[in-house]
Amino acid sequence: MSFLASSLFLVLLGLCALLNLAALPGNWIIAALVTTWACFVRGMELPLSFFLLMVLFLLGGECVEFLAQLWGSKKFGSSRASTVAGMAGAIFGAFFCMPLFFGLGAIPGALAGAWGGCFLAAFFLERHPSGEAVHAANGAFLGRLLGMAIKFGAGIAMVMLTAMHL
């Protein structure tokens, strides 16, 4: 396999890892591309331990992203409804802001959506005072930020693992 093809493939995987910051399934795409590459490139035999580590990073990143926002929301006093609204807001914000700044708008969009969704649910649906609603929304924001960073790190780990086996 040529050095150029391997290098371009790793760049593609790195770009897929960036999709995690836009609340898109970047790690799933990385796993699919690596599996496809392993199936169709001659002489590419990856050990079972490689795929087990890939699945560990993939599922670990997903779980931690979800649990980080839950943790942040709960730690700052959010209810179940506001937490769910914050998660929905993060997805909506990422998709709504994705066209801005050449796709990078999805990052602040997801963070603002998490904050806004949690705040709106806490303030309007649950009738919490504005100070409590802001406090809960800050937790959703911080949890989302932490989750995005960890999931992105898991994606980079998947790319690095692949680079070691090419």
Q: How confident is the model at residue 42 (pLDDT cuts 50, 70, 90)?
A: confident
Going from the C-alpha of 153 to that of each of 14, 122, 160, the distances in angstroms are 11, 31, 10
Question: CA–CA separation, 121 vs 92, rounded Å?
Answer: 15
Q: Which residue has the higher pLDDT, 166 or 30?
A: 30
pLDDT one-digit tens code per residue, 99-153: 888 778 888 999 999 999 999 999 998 888 999 999 999 999 999 999 999 999 9
Domain ranges of the chain: 3-165
Mean pLDDT of 48-75: 93
Helices and strands (DSSP H and E) totals, the chain: 6, 0
Mean pLDDT of 40-45: 80
**pLDDT at residue 118, rounded to an integer:** 95
**pLDDT at residue 24, rounded to an integer:** 81
SS3 assignment, position 1: coil
Query: Is residue 143 a contact partner of residue 70, using CB atoms and an 8 Å limit?
Result: yes
In the predicted structure, residue 56 carries a pLDDT above the cut 80 = yes
With a pLDDT cut of 70, the percent of the chain lying above it is 99
Mean pLDDT of 87-102: 89
Question: CA–CA separation, 27 vs 78, rounded Å?
Answer: 28
Question: CA–CA separation, 86 vs 125, rounded Å?
Answer: 13
In the predicted structure, residue 72 carries a pLDDT above the cut 70 = yes
pTM confidence score: 0.87
Cα atoms found within 13 Å of the Cα of residue 114, Cβ hemisphere only:
31
Q: What are phi and psi of 69, to 5 degrees?
A: -70, -40
